[in-house]
Structure 1
């Protein structure tokens, strides 16, 4: 007797549960009509064969790797290009030449451009319509895009697994635009090309997190991830340059895809380039005018827009500006840079949460109190505004009294404003099941808050003994208390990083927030351990940091630092940032262990000779020499660690770091990129 054959599922999960037949695109027609494009999910099987079968979306545009490609043929090229030129010309302001020459912001209501806009002047512009030769390279670059089934998979992975981190795009509206973009049969204007750049840079960013515990293979539809990543990056770069030549002002799509370019270099361990690209995104945001809460963009469009569409456009601009503001504030604080964006830029137009509901199966009563997917970003915005407002002045000596006042203001003003789901001492976990990324966002915010406490007290580590001796007695006592608080804040950062890393599977990741904060907090903790006068072992006295009471001992500090170094060694197999930080943290660990055995030894910050962070052959690391950037890790780093920790372990019961002592769960055995 033959067993009944199980019917193959050919629809997305929401349509399957509703017994509907969808068109197998991403997002499908039914999820789009229900205004739930972010819920459109196609399951991912574990094997490569099933993977290729599942993600070849029947009904999608399988033959053509991208839209608009029929215009690459001579028979229809002229008409398509002509229509694109006419549409582009209609969007060009009559005063664009003046704005470009004098640098005016076109949408201003107060500069000279605003005066000229209301006068009946003849339109004189030095901007000519783009010739067909300018659109031909765009068609060529679009034809190089990966097939749609690959882009569909990466976009879906990004929306469900990565977008919660930075919230640069509003998932429902982005997926709607994504489907509309594929449905177009010819190029409409520069904005369509820039949206293609946004898609490509999102996909390139998504490949930085693959393989992952949920997707353990290193290829998509038979193409290696490295090839897909390089193709997306190269095509996006070429198209972005072409768009700048066609439209110097840009749009919100340009701001978004520049931010994703910044996030990608951050994953590659280049925080210096990350900072530079954030500067480019800040300039693009001002040129595009997303900092103005106006309807200028809607008024310029030839497509009629109703009030709800205009409101959605403004909401998306607000969210992009907030996301950029958070990145700018956080980087300027961590790297001691001057912010690119003004302090109060986001005061007048905060995002309105749940313009389109993000929560699925919840009752209306709970829905009113539940956090939005963007709530964590708003908490980050408020944190950035707080420290910009009361932060210490640059190039000033450390004053324990002023630092204590800033800390007390943080506890009195900022902490009470946190949503209950993000409370520091006892967060409300009611909505964790309905919002699966909420626990991860909670840890991300905890990292930022405790890191800001570390930033407030960090300068005390630079005080010299003679400077401390000159302080008033009560300030010296306060300084000792702040050292304990700084140490506990660093421990709390590492605990939150450990929790977040475990939610990623405890395995390999390029997520810069995990790597950067592991290194920063470990260095702070080990520097404190190097201080002979650090107030360890205070009996039963507990340290209070942001309402959390705990006792910090030397043993606990070294154990937490040891775990952080173990994480850096694990992640060094994929990240240059982790590999560089590993050598520094390991040597500092050895110095701290030796300082404990020899209390009279000199602390590392007092050394004026060879810096302890110089690593042998560190200048040879990189990807431009044609070699694998991680090929030397297995040869150099274990030897370095072995020498350092064998030296530190002599007579020290806390220095037992070895590759067998790591307690990080390895939930997948995927190949290394």
Structure 2
């Protein structure tokens, strides 16, 4: 090497060994990323306010020169660091691991001098400013979303408090104190570019979906129809804003618990509005965001604190239950595969509000003592059985009836191990006054159990056997559907907040009234049919009185009323004793069918096989052909209920079942 070359190398080494020129750091890494003032303490006041004092770090003032061998050794040591210690926090922590982001990204995160900063924060101010000023840039999306928030802080405060006091404690959405402090910090920011870049869209998505629920709670049922319509439109705007924020937030940040919570609440919103098919998409997306943070691996494996581990377990259990039950209801594949997960059920302990040190010493309670975590602990067990039912009874290959009996035994065993305050039959209500969440958690578990059992036995409801082989399915469907309808009738007397708590469970995607209606159509003069019809009529009447009933709920009412109409018409035109087999539709008088068609032209179709068109040949019928054989379709294990709004399909199915009675 010549003299000039040696000088250049020596200068390069000296430049690396000398400290960089420039301003000394005046903020911790968290405040620097948010462009906020820092009081210079460790931890600083803002990190304490955000509840993340352990993340408050200060950059080193100078770097020392290391040899190549030392750098290689330190990199090998970094890769051996527990991946559970790698997380970022811009309001809500994200989780990184080489199994979820790829080994190259994980290695880079480990070796970075400031691993608590997300990749987007590494953008220079100049590049960020250009993106913000560009209408097609990502920061313009943030500005548009912020424009959807109410301008008055008092209004937003009131809506948040309505949700926290009316809904949050029943479905375990957010920690109230933490969410309030996050909102106060969010609202106290300065408007402009310096603060727009620090807005956490993951948390903003959660705020929007909470406002979507709250704006409905804030409007009483006694308000005018115009006022209620305005509330519904405002709710939908917040709902769509939440979905938009969920979709674009990964462009700014990594995944976070807040983003998973937002996806979970979007799914519950769709269940509330009876849009089960679309909820299948949103729960899958929420699950992927959870898996990206390693939530399908238990927090103990990551070395997380007990409090963080229990929080993740509860959130994962809620995702798990919704994923399994929605997939079972729709006959679609579920997203969570048990053999790809290593997660424990939540313990029967409530750690929210405790410090990490207090949480580590807290003792889990026996099942005889209810906590806010008990429902998720028991619900995860039921969800596992629901997933097994779909695998073994509704898979690609037909299942034997012995398999159905085996799955029913598992459901009954789950029911029998419930604590007395959650018992399906004659529960102990003495603890309800002390624990206000118990009635709602009991409702969620009971309705989910009835849903799973009805779905398991539904293909065998219409099957007959000379040996009475399918009597278990007949009895199970009638028993669970009747019990579930009883719960619904008791719940429809409540106000807006109570009805919303009721509809946020998994059961609102399935209506047991459909099953009872089919049972009544199948046996119009059976001894229990009159009582079934009375309950169904009462159910429809109460639903029609609900001022918040949307078009999806109204479609369910029409389907149930169609079952009532068919059953009543058949029962009135038979002289058979009630203990004999029901009359088939061929024996119904043509006058009755004509009257039904004139009275209900939108939901009825003449089905008498003897009715022919003037120019039709003998045997050619009006209405639906017996070749459709809906009873056989019903018995197909791959068949799932059509959407209630598909009134023509329901009409055809009910008519064909009545025809073949």
Would the TM-score normalized by the shorter structure come out above 0.5?
yes
Give the direction of change, closer, same or farther, for the CA distance of 1:263–1:443 in structure 2 (3 Å limit): closer
Equivalent residues of 1:166, 1:377 under 8 A apart: no
Matches of residues 161-172 of structure 1 in structure 2 within 5 Å?
Answer: 161-172=166-177
Matches of residues 241-640 of structure 1 in structure 2 within 5 Å?
Answer: 241-247=247-253, 249-294=254-299, 310-343=305-338, 348-352=343-347, 353-356=349-352, 369-389=368-388, 391=390, 392-393=392-393, 394-397=395-398, 399-412=400-413, 414-461=414-461, 463=463, 468=464, 476-504=467-495, 512=503, 517=508, 520-532=511-523, 536-537=526-527, 553-571=528-546, 574-596=549-571, 597-598=573-574, 599-602=582-585, 607=626
**TM-score, normalised relative to structure 2:** 0.61
Equivalent residues of 1:218, 1:225 under 8 A apart: no
> Does structure 1 residue 142 correspond to structure 2 residue 146?
yes
Q: Which moved more, 1:504-513 or 1:164-173?
A: 504-513
CA distance in 2, matches of 1:617, 1:201: 25
Give per-residue Cα distances to partners, 1:449-485, cap 9 Å, x unaligned. Answer: 122111121111354xxxx56xxx5xx4131343133
Indicate the SS of the match to 1:131: helix
Equivalent residues of 1:252, 1:285 under 8 A apart: yes
CA distance in 2, matches of 1:526, 1:292: 44
Equivalent residues of 2:170, 2:441 under 8 A apart: yes
Matches of residues 21-60 of structure 1 in structure 2 within 5 Å?
Answer: none
Equivalent residues of 1:250, 1:287 under 8 A apart: yes
Equivalent residues of 2:375, 2:441 under 8 A apart: yes
Matches of residues 186-197 of structure 1 in structure 2 within 5 Å?
Answer: 187=195, 192-197=200-205
Q: Which moved more, 1:486-495 or 1:261-270?
A: 261-270
Which residue in the other structure is 1:107 paired with?
97
1:416, distance to aligned residue in structure 2 (A): 3.5
Which residue in the other structure is 1:12 paired with?
none
1:606, distance to aligned residue in structure 2 (A): 8.9
5+ residue gaps, structure 2: 1-30, 37-46, 48-54, 59-77, 80-94, 114-118, 133-138, 355-361, 575-581, 587-606, 608-623, 632-640
Give the direction of change, closer, same or farther, for the CA distance of 1:210–1:462 in structure 2 (3 Å limit): farther
Equivalent residues of 2:202, 2:259 under 8 A apart: yes
1:617, distance to aligned residue in structure 2 (A): 11
1:423, distance to aligned residue in structure 2 (A): 1.1
Give the direction of change, closer, same or farther, for the CA distance of 1:188–1:457 in structure 2 (3 Å limit): same
Give the direction of change, closer, same or farther, for the CA distance of 1:501–1:172 in structure 2 (3 Å limit): farther
Equivalent residues of 1:326, 1:384 under 8 A apart: yes
Task: Name which one, 1 or 2, has greater alpha-carbon Rg.
Answer: 2
CA distance in 1, matches of 2:267, 2:642: 27
CA distance in 2, matches of 1:266, 1:439: 20
CA distance in 2, matches of 1:507, 1:112: 45
Equivalent residues of 1:210, 1:218 under 8 A apart: no
Equivalent residues of 1:208, 1:264 under 8 A apart: no
Matches of residues 204-243 of structure 1 in structure 2 within 5 Å?
Answer: 204-212=212-220, 225-226=231-232, 228-229=234-235, 232-233=238-239, 235-237=241-243, 239-243=245-249
Q: Which moved more, 1:344-353 or 1:266-275?
A: 344-353
1:490, distance to aligned residue in structure 2 (A): 0.6
Give the direction of change, closer, same or farther, for the CA distance of 1:480–1:498 in structure 2 (3 Å limit): same
CA distance in 2, matches of 1:278, 1:437: 24
Give the direction of change, closer, same or farther, for the CA distance of 1:117–1:450 in structure 2 (3 Å limit): same
CA distance in 1, matches of 2:313, 2:507: 28
Give per-residue Cα distances to partners, 1:124-169, cap 9 Å, x unaligned. Answer: x998556124455335643542122222222211122222453233
**TM-score, normalised relative to structure 1:** 0.60
1:190, distance to aligned residue in structure 2 (A): 5.8
Equivalent residues of 1:145, 1:231 under 8 A apart: no
1:253, distance to aligned residue in structure 2 (A): 1.5
Equivalent residues of 1:211, 1:217 under 8 A apart: no
1:618, distance to aligned residue in structure 2 (A): 7.4
Indicate the SS of the match to 1:577: helix
CA distance in 1, matches of 2:314, 2:546: 31
Indicate the SS of the match to 2:324: helix
Equivalent residues of 1:290, 1:317 under 8 A apart: yes
- In the comparison of the two structures, how many residue pairs are matched? 488
Equivalent residues of 1:491, 1:521 under 8 A apart: yes
Q: Which moved more, 1:136-145 or 1:320-329?
A: 136-145
Equivalent residues of 1:166, 1:323 under 8 A apart: no
Give per-residue Cα distances to partners, 1:345-374, cap 9 Å, x unaligned. Answer: 77633334211369xxxxx99987531123
Give the direction of change, closer, same or farther, for the CA distance of 1:239–1:524 in structure 2 (3 Å limit): closer
Which residue in the other structure is 2:22 paired with?
none
1:524, distance to aligned residue in structure 2 (A): 0.8
Give the direction of change, closer, same or farther, for the CA distance of 1:574–1:518 in structure 2 (3 Å limit): same
1:377, distance to aligned residue in structure 2 (A): 2.6
Give the direction of change, closer, same or farther, for the CA distance of 1:589–1:80 in structure 2 (3 Å limit): same
Indicate the SS of the match to 2:97: coil
Note the aligned Cα RMSD (angstroms). 5.0
CA distance in 1, matches of 2:300, 2:490: 43
Equivalent residues of 2:329, 2:510 under 8 A apart: no
